[in-house]
Chain A
Amino acid sequence: MKRPVIGQSVVQAGLFLLLLLAVPAALPNEYYLSICILGSLNAVIAVGLNLLMGYAGQVSLGHAAFYGLGAYATAIATTRFGLPIPVGMAAGVTLAAAVAWIVAAPTLRLKGNYLAMATLGFGIIISIVFNEAVDLTGGPSGYVGIPRLALFGYTFESDRSYYTLMAVVLALVVLVALHLMKSRTGRALRALHVSEKAASSLGIDIAAHKRFVFVLSAALAGLAGVLYAHYLSFIAPASFGFSFSVQLVVMVVLGGMASVWGSVAGAFFLTALPEALREFEDIDILVYGAILVLTIMFLPDGLAGGLKRLGRKLRRVGVDHAG
């Protein structure tokens, strides 16, 4: 059998990157570009959360906390301690991953609703810390003066340059997710989702795999957090609370569980949605709840599954007409 030198996932991620890079040309003004940047940041988190939820079947209602830990860590490291930005970013990702590592052991032993409650509680605790540790975090009014991202002597001053960076980061994250899921680790995660009994009977270390995917998804949320902080230069606890954790879950469910591309679509859709629904500002959590319920009722495998089914139906119609 002939084997292609460049894998299918690399080609897909490459085409995706080209698509992302083509988007700015189609946008009417700069404002939409900032939405695209936020969309890519959310997509990075959603792809990571989907590895945990969609593939491994472990719910997290506290992922906004890891996003916030990344953001605050680099903010404090680069301003208060005057550390270089790359060091601050590494600190942010590491802190998110380390905290996930610590909470993984007691938390991931729980299942279903109990796991949801535990991660929810964790998210609330971290949120309280962001609000109450005023000396460190600036409290509810937020943390200002975070330097704009600069790497290797280049400052990502314009939104255009920041978006280019985000496009590359997102395409790489997508590629990592696709490759990881098409490996023994991905099979093990999908297996334990369906039957922990059977997975462990085949030599799969359930606890180690759950912890790995939890830490990985937290690290990706932390990565999005540091990039968010160095993009906006200002962060506040409200961005990292329960409401955002719910939004992230909705992105994953709406996009389609266990679909990397679905999560990307879900993240961009839900990031753009508030722009379309400005009147609903105060009841946004209700809107997200409604989307969640409607998705579960009518699109059980999300946008990705819905499109797949639509494609099959259309093909069948085509065949019927032809035949």
Chain B
Amino acid sequence: MPANTTPCAPLLDVSGATVRFGGIHALTEADFTIAKGSVTALIGPNGAGKTTMLNAITGMVPLAGGAITLDGTDIAGLPPQKRAAAGVVRTFQNLEVFTSMSVLENVMTGRHALTRYSITASLLRTPGFRRAERACRDAAMDCLEFVGLAEAADTPAGDLPYGKQRLLEMARALAAEPKLLLLDEPAAGLNSKETAQLGDLIRAVCDRRNVTVGLVEHDMELVMAVSDHITVLHFGRPLAAGTPDAIQANPDVIKAYLGEDD
């Protein structure tokens, strides 16, 4: 058996994904698997196609070819909102916080699909409505506490500093109770202390909340510290996959990164 066989069944299995923007081949027959219960990083130089991979997984760009399964079921044909319902939720590299809403409302919005009552119930303020809203609020507060933003619950989300908006996006995504949480460069713009805290948080998402994590990140120290498994993309193609140690020692990977630096 090859040494880097994943121990568990894959939660996410992307195979042969191809995405084109006109003449640009953003992804070419790219494979990417995330094992259940793992933190799996997707790394690669700028423009390698990492965000495009997350967009393809969450249904925000169309696939020109390939297949995507989550827990064994094909999700490639579903619109974004159905993929969220199926259990894949993400954050965004260029923040997409709901700036006009409070921090708490942002996270409550994350529970949209889990908060069920009819419009009539909301107009009549039925007991069922009140119960569901209270449960939504409590669960949202729990997520805010988890990322350390409980104090800011009533702050307008647009007033939060950059780093906290990233945490807010994470809390909002966690509120949806996903099977798979995809993070697009969560450490961008954070200082080293904040980055270390983020690392602990990512591990806690996986170990304590039992949410599998897909992590796109440039900060190699963070990636090496938190990842169980790493896939490297280069010009839209997978270059290597393996454990952090194996990736760090891989000559192709070293060349790809050094090649970019000069």
Pairing of A with B: yes
Contacts of B108 in A (CB 8 A): 184, 187
Residue-wise interface mask of A (127-153) relative to B, using a CB-CB cutoff of 8 A (1 in contact, 0 not): 000000000000000000000000000
Q: Are B123 and A200 in contact (CB under 8 A)?
A: no
Distance of A200 Cα from B81 Cα, bound (Å): 5
Tell me the complex Cα distance, A131–B182, Å: 56
Contact B79 A202 (CB under 8 A): no
Q: How many residues of B contact A (CB 8 A)?
A: 37
B130's nearest neighbour on chain A, judged by CB, is A3
Chain A residues with CB under 8 Å of B85's CB are 203
Task: Please determine whether B58 and A201 come into contact, CB atoms closer than 8 angstroms.
Answer: yes
Closest 3 CB pairs of A and B: A183-B122, A203-B113, A203-B84
* Minimum CB–CB distance for A207 against chain B, Å: 9
| Residue A110 CB within 8 A of the other chain | no
User: Do A187 and B112 form a contact, CB below 8 Å, given A200-B79, A206-B81?
Assistant: yes
Neighbouring B residues of A191 by C-beta, 8 Å: 98, 101, 109
Q: Name A residues whose Cβ lies closer than 8 Å to a Cβ of B.
A: 3, 7, 10, 176, 179-180, 182-185, 187-188, 190-191, 193-195, 197-206, 258
B residues with CB within 8 A of A: 58, 60, 79-82, 84-85, 89-90, 92, 96-101, 105, 108-110, 112-113, 115, 117, 119, 122-123, 125, 129-130, 133, 136, 169, 172-173, 176
Determine which residue in A187, A197, A203 has the highest number of CB atoms from chain B within 10 A of its CB, and name it. A203
Query: A179 touching B109 by the CB < 8 A rule?
Result: no
Q: How far is A116 from B187 in the complex, measured between Cα atoms in Å?
A: 39
Docked-complex contact B123 and A176, CB < 8 angstroms: yes
Q: List 15 A-B contacts (CB under 8 A).
A: A7-B125, A183-B129, A187-B105, A187-B108, A191-B98, A194-B98, A194-B99, A195-B96, A195-B98, A200-B79, A202-B81, A203-B84, A203-B112, A204-B81, A206-B81
Interface of A is mostly: helix
In the assembled complex, the Cα of A168 lies from the Cα of B223 at a distance in Å of: 61
Are A185's CB and B80's CB within 8 A?
Answer: no
Q: Give the docked Cα–Cα distance between A198 and B101 (Å).
A: 13
Query: For residue B81, which residues in chain A have a CB less than 8 angstroms away from its CB?
Result: 200, 202-206
Residues of A within 8 A of B60 (CB): 197, 200-201
In angstroms, Cα B96 to Cα A193, docked, is 12
Most buried by A among B58, B100, B173: B100
Q: How far is the CA of A180 from the CA of B176 in the complex (A)?
A: 21
Q: Which chain B residues lie closer than 8 Å to A206 at the CB level? A: 81
Tell me the minimal C-beta distance from A222 to chain B in angstroms. 18
